[in-house]
Amino acid sequence: MKRLFAWATLIFGMGYFILPLVGLTEFSLSMRRGEYSFDAYAAVLADPRFRETFSYSVVMALLTIVFGVLLVVPTAYWVRLKLPGLRPYVEFVTLLPLVIPAIVIVFGYIRLYNTSSWLPLTGSLTGTNLLLMFGYATLSLPYMYRAVDTGLRTIDVATLTEAAQSLGAGWVTILARVIMPNVLVAVLSGAFVTFAIVIGEFTLAALLNRPAFGPYLQLMGANRAYEPMALAVIAFGITWACMGLIQLVTRFSKHTKAAR
Amino acid sequence: MAFLDIEHLEKSYGATKVVKDFNLAVDKGEFVSFLGPSGCGKTTTLRMVAGFETPSVGAIRIDGRDMARLRPNQRNIGMVFQAYALFPNLTVAQNVAFGLKVAGESRKVIDERVAEMLETIGLPDLGNRYPFQLSGGQQQRVALARALAVRPQVLLLDEPLSALDAKIRVSLRGEIRAIQKKLGITTIYVTHDQEEALSMSDRIVVMHQGIADQVGTPFEIYNRPRTRFVANFVGTLTLLEAEVLDPASGHVSIGGVEATLGRRLPKGAVTLAVRPEMVSLGPAPGRETEVTGRIVDVDFLGSVIRLRAQIGQSVLAFDTFNSSDAPPPKVGAMVTLSLAARDLLLIGE
Ligand SMILES: Nc1ncnc2c1ncn2[C@@H]1O[C@H](COP(=O)(O)OP(=O)(O)O)[C@@H](O)[C@H]1O
Ligand SMILES: [Mg+2]
């Protein structure tokens, strides 16, 4: 009886997730009347705006990842090593982006960094891009921080640090040669989540008026029938590829690391 | 002046002093152990030498140089941890090379030194293994090689053998001591295991509640414990309450049995102590004081049998060697024990 119920729940859940996907895919393939084709995909891929916005978002995602890693790894490391009492508070702060809507964040940014402010980031293109990247980093902070913090838990941070120090290493060396390589798997999984978030993000990019993939997705959705479905499938594919890579990396890591 | 000088060292966490007025002078090449029960401040003292903790009071000098201003990575001190602390992402060779790389040595120098160190620890072929592919004993040897590769001025080991099983512990302590002697490196070795301390050290510091109770060679510590704590902690002792009858000749009464120690003793009541191996079953040449008692406990340890006999108010522990044709006395048997009065130790407070 219990078993039956479990199966029923599972099937319901799968249906809930998969049916829309199937419908979406089916629709995206039916641009040509009466037969399935990849016409919608071809149209999307041929659109120069697709390539522009997509590559813009990929670059932004990579920058966000680099910035996020440089921000989060040393912070999480330092908190674990020197300020363990602060961990609950830091964790709380990193979770805030989940509770505060992106629209609030971006309005805050615009208010704080507009052209007549003390730091007019929105006044220049580079400044706006920078601001957008900071925004992305904020949105991915909960995931990045958790991933890295979990990674740090698997090693004896304090003792490894002291071992490295007694061998003459300074902080930069310790971070680069001891901490980073040992949390690489965690960093990568955080990076993939960040990538997925940035690629699909709409609010920040739209309100900062940057040519990112998310707004393009929205624009197409408002104006076309089949192409947005193809785009949605592509976006899904990217997200799922990221998830797959996380799985892969995690499994790979079980191989090389083990009980110390 | 000694090579490593620790003067009036103290450490407090909040209101609790965990190390109190610790003084020690270690000569170059000397092997000194900190011995004491868990929580007595051994690790804290060691970590102050390494620079991981800042002393509340006191000074540490190595080769005449004050360490106070130096960060741990500037002190040139090798450290071996209980949990090995090898870098899990690096191979054995890379682990050993770590300090040399940090010091900016050339490739050639590093390779040579790594090979030399792996040879020293007896693992010349395991350079390409990762730590998780090694046994605990092997990992700890690699950790030792890693610490020694940079030619530190002082080597610190914090209970390096505690995580290993008994057999390896014994063989590895011999190896560590041999390597230490060969390299002539000044070493502080922290342990709670008296056998380790007694067998390895040039000198032992017995610590108790943050205080260095006694500093001395293993022989001195074992045979002339200065405090009741040292006497109890190192080896097994039977404490005997005695009444001094004649302070000048050291004539005492131990629960009615009279004996002469042949040493001046303080007046009044004293605590005497005797090691199990100083007591014989039956009469023995040179052990003129005889007492009778009833066996209360027999502990067969293999080559040695540890027995306990009730004598008046005290229970006296003593050892006999195992012998295949003479089984030890049974519990309840009345026995005569003999000991030499001069082997009785006077225990201070
Ligand atoms: N960071 C710390 N904060 C507060 N108390 C500490 C700290 N480190 C050690 N102690 C206390 O100091 C005492 C000595 O500890 P330790 O030096 O580790 O002892 P041992 O190594 O001899 O077992 C213990 O009572 C321990 O609880
Ligand atoms: Mg300790």
pLDDT tens-digit readout, A102-157: 999 889 888 888 888 888 888 888 999 999 999 999 999 999 999 999 999 999 99
What confidence score (pLDDT) does residue A256 get? 53
| B97 min Cα distance to partner chain A (Å) | 10
Distance CA B334, CA B293 (A): 6
Q: Kindly state whether residue A48 falls inside one of the protein's structural domains.
A: no
Distance CA B165, CA A142 (A): 43
How many domains are there within chain A? 1
Q: E strands within B162-303?
A: 186-191, 203-208, 211-216, 238-246, 251-254, 257-260, 269-274, 279-281, 289-300
Distance CA B165, CA A113 (A): 63
- Output the six-digit token pair for B347: 């225990």
- The alpha helices in A29-177, defined as continuous H runs, are 39-46, 48-82, 87-99, 102-113, 125-153, 157-166, 171-173
Q: Work out whether strand B154-158 and strand B186-191 pair parallel, antiparallel, or are unpaired.
A: parallel
- The Cα angle at residue A52 between residues A223 and A202, in degrees rounded to 5: 55
Give φ, ψ of A223 to 5 degrees.
-115, -20
Q: Which domain holds residue A213?
A: 53-259
Q: Work out whether strand B154-158 and strand B77-80 pair parallel, antiparallel, or are unpaired.
A: parallel
| A74 min Cα distance to partner chain B (Å) | 18
What confidence score (pLDDT) does residue B228 get? 84
Q: Kindly state whether residue A114 falls inside one of the protein's structural domains.
A: yes
Average pLDDT across chain A, whole number = 88
Q: Above pLDDT 70, what percent of chain A?
A: 97
What confidence score (pLDDT) does residue B345 get? 83
Q: Kindly state whether residue A175 falls inside one of the protein's structural domains.
A: yes
List, in sequence order, every residue forming a beta bridge with B32; answer none if it has no partner. Answer: B188, B203
B7 C-alpha to ligand 2 centroid (Å): 21
A188 C-alpha to ligand 1 centroid (Å): 37
The ligand whose atoms approach the alpha carbon of B212 most closely is: 1
What confidence score (pLDDT) does residue A185 get? 85
Instruction: Give the one of A163, A182, A258 whose C-beta lies nearest to B79's C-beta.
Output: A163
User: Do A256 and B130 lie within an 8 Å CB cutoff?
Assistant: yes
Contact map slice: A 10-49 vs B, CB within 8 A: none
What confidence score (pLDDT) does residue B266 get? 86
Q: Kindly state whether residue A31 falls inside one of the protein's structural domains.
A: no
B54 C-alpha to ligand 1 centroid (Å): 13
DSSP state of B164: S
- The number of residues in chain B equals 349
**Residue ranges for chain B with pLDDT beneath 70:** 348-349
Q: Kindly state whether residue A62 falls inside one of the protein's structural domains.
A: yes
B76 neighbourhood in chain A, CB within 8 Å:
168
CB neighbours (10 Å) of residue A69?
Answer: 21
What confidence score (pLDDT) does residue A255 get? 45
**pLDDT of A259 above 60:** no
- How many CA atoms, within 13 angstroms, populate the side-chain half-sphere of residue A33? 0
Distance CA B62, CA B6 (A): 9
CB neighbours (10 Å) of residue B9?
Answer: 23
- Cβ contacts of residue A251 below 8 Å, gap of 6+? none
Instruction: Give the one of B77, B88, B132 whose C-beta lies nearest to A166's C-beta.
Output: B77
- Cβ contacts of residue B92 below 8 Å, gap of 6+? B118, B123, B126, B127, B128, B129, B130, B131, B134, B142
- The alpha helices in B42-164, defined as continuous H runs, are 42-50, 92-102, 107-120, 136-149
Distances B38 to A18, B151, B234 between C-alpha atoms, Å: 59, 30, 14
Q: Kindly state whether residue A57 falls inside one of the protein's structural domains.
A: yes
The mean pLDDT of A21-49, rounded to a whole number, is 86
CB neighbours (10 Å) of residue B270?
Answer: 21
What CATH number corresponds to the domain at position A153?
1.10.3720.10
ipTM of the shown complex? 0.85
Contact map slice: A 68-127 vs B, CB within 8 A: none
Distance CA B39, CA B21 (A): 17
Q: Kindly state whether residue A142 falls inside one of the protein's structural domains.
A: yes
| A156 min Cα distance to partner chain B (Å) | 8
| Closest C-alpha residue for ligand 1 atom 26 | B39
Q: Kindly state whether residue A8 falls inside one of the protein's structural domains.
A: no
Q: Work out whether strand B238-246 and strand B211-216 pair parallel, antiparallel, or are unpaired.
A: unpaired
Amino acid identity, residue A95?
L
Residue A247 contacts B where some CB pair is shorter than 8 Å = no
Distance CA B307, CA A120 (A): 87
**pLDDT of A260 above 70:** no
For residue B54 and ligand 1, the question of a CB distance below 6 A is answered with no
Distance CA A43, CA A212 (A): 19
The structure tokens 């104006």 sit at A223
